[in-house]
Structure 1
């Protein structure tokens, strides 16, 4: 049957504003909102009590921060909203997020930002570019705070000569990270000779990890592997690893791109094997304790 009078115009929420009624939205950190009265658009950075009222602070895209009374008068994604304080659960999540943000990739507490520190005379040396890039990604913030420079070696075949050239002292210490430092290997014998160089032995710390290449210090599960594959001696380790992963592996450019992908899986110290973590921490401690800038 046709309704000759049409629908009831008074049915439903006919008094609702054109944009809809305001809904409660928790003022979570990072939430982008617009203040209707002033047109100020910004992300929530904090909520606090001030002058007997709750105030939400919004940071705009230029980094300027402005406070507004918490409550109605905001738009979230173009819809009216009443901003409410974060709940206890949200506060706990925000506190956890702030704690995580206050730590560096190595797990250390992040130091307050300040002017760059003058580099120490002491140095940490690593075998190659990939080692240096990995150390920088995980420990870079710590090293800058401490004023420690990481330098690359062109191999360790003449490590004893490198020690003599650097001529370390009590205030100019030398730390060296060596790949595949396993008893009975060529690397082991080279390190023994370098550690015996006089009169520098007390001012040199040479440590190493057991892996054929620093790639292996990345936890294999980050690449979807249960374990790093065993590559037969006499073959190109990196090229065979890339082939095992199903990645391009014919050229050096393929190797460089493969390492970039592996390094990209590293988010922090939890993604590295403890055999590398301990050794790098040991070197940083050695070159900074008792050393002057």
Structure 2
């Protein structure tokens, strides 16, 4: 059972996991682990499933998925019968009023919907993946000079479940730079998998880019793919000014992760998020929700 912290009710909730039995089998049983290494982590497996999710045939899965995970479709721009495929539904856009954004330049907002953890004063060689397992930023982005900028800074990890809104956004106005692609595997990013695969974020397919934020110094964006994620789509234009809340991109089908790194003395994460992160719990957040403040 995976528990996440609800910031509004100040209580813990059990997470509803899409494909829970499959994930538990593939990452916890001896046979399942072999299947993961031989098949599930491979690009071909995710590419084939992603291709299926782009077909009209896959649209038949939408109603049962919505019902099983109690997804509020009143927030969606499209109605259920207007989606051409499961990926069309999965990457759905929301009405602008569905996710209000605090425009205060000193407020840090969540870049998307998901489960969030955050760590201050990070050691670049021992960044927490999940309690007890770490990785290095140099390994994650394969660029030591860029990584060194974030020594003793802040790391924010946003894990998106298949049931979440799957578009991610800019947390401030500023200039985004080009995205760098790093090839890798396609392990699940569910906590069950994170406990089973050391340095998983450094193993998976990922993309990273620098964002020259107007109010939070230079921010490092990293998007990590996962099992059955057909693509990481960057919808922004490099070197073109963006506004706070503008879309950066989206993930096609599957759970995925967005990681942000902030320079030292640039932001202060909200205390409840830091407290829960130290305890090993993720906080459930929505895009646009306040998660920190600028250090002035």
Taking structure 2 as the reference length, the TM-score comes to 0.22
Name the structure with the higher strand share: 2
Structure with larger Rg: 1
Name the structure with the higher helix share: 1
More relative contact order, 1 or 2 (CA 8 Å, 6+ apart): 2
Taking structure 1 as the reference length, the TM-score comes to 0.22
